[in-house]
Amino acid sequence: MGTHQPLPSFLPVDNPTQPFWRTEPHPLDELRSTEALPGQSDIVIIGAGYSGVSIAYHLLKHLDGHNKPHPAITILEARQICSGATGRNGDMEWMLQPRWPTLNSVM
């Protein structure tokens, strides 16, 4: 087998776009629950967008009332909550609006 070269990483970008709903800072924007990353986690979630936060929320909600200790969950986020792909991709379907009849006919 040949050797594999690591792929270059272009994320996170140096100059991200600002979603319109994040124009005013929020106290949770810079929240860091620990000084350093934990040495061990039961569950690691990459990204604090809608999906990542929802996964953590529903895991904990599902485990409530089971009389068991909650797993150690770590969420890794490059910037602020909901500022990455969640913030950039919101409301992009408007560009497809003129094609909706065509898309509906093929689905």
Q: Is residue 25 part of a domain?
A: no
Q: Is residue 82 part of a domain?
A: yes
Q: Is residue 68 part of a domain?
A: yes
Q: Is residue 24 part of a domain?
A: no
Q: Is residue 32 part of a domain?
A: no
Range of the domain at 57: 40-97
Confidence (pLDDT) at 24: 81
Q: Collect all residues with Cβ–Cβ distance below 8 Å to 90 and sequence separation of at least 6.
A: 19, 21
pTM for this prediction = 0.64
Number of domains into which the chain is organized: 1
- The position carrying tokens 């569950």 is 43
Segment 50-76 mean pLDDT: 90
- The closest alpha carbon to 45, from 72, 63, 25, belongs to 72
Confidence (pLDDT) at 39: 93
Give percent of the chain with pLDDT exceeding 70: 68
Q: Is residue 22 part of a domain?
A: no
Mean of the per-residue pLDDT values of the chain: 78
What is the gyration radius of the CA atoms in the chain, in angstroms?
19
Q: Is residue 75 part of a domain?
A: yes
Q: Is residue 105 part of a domain?
A: no
Contact assessment for residue 48 and residue 12, using Cβ atoms and an 8 Å cutoff = no
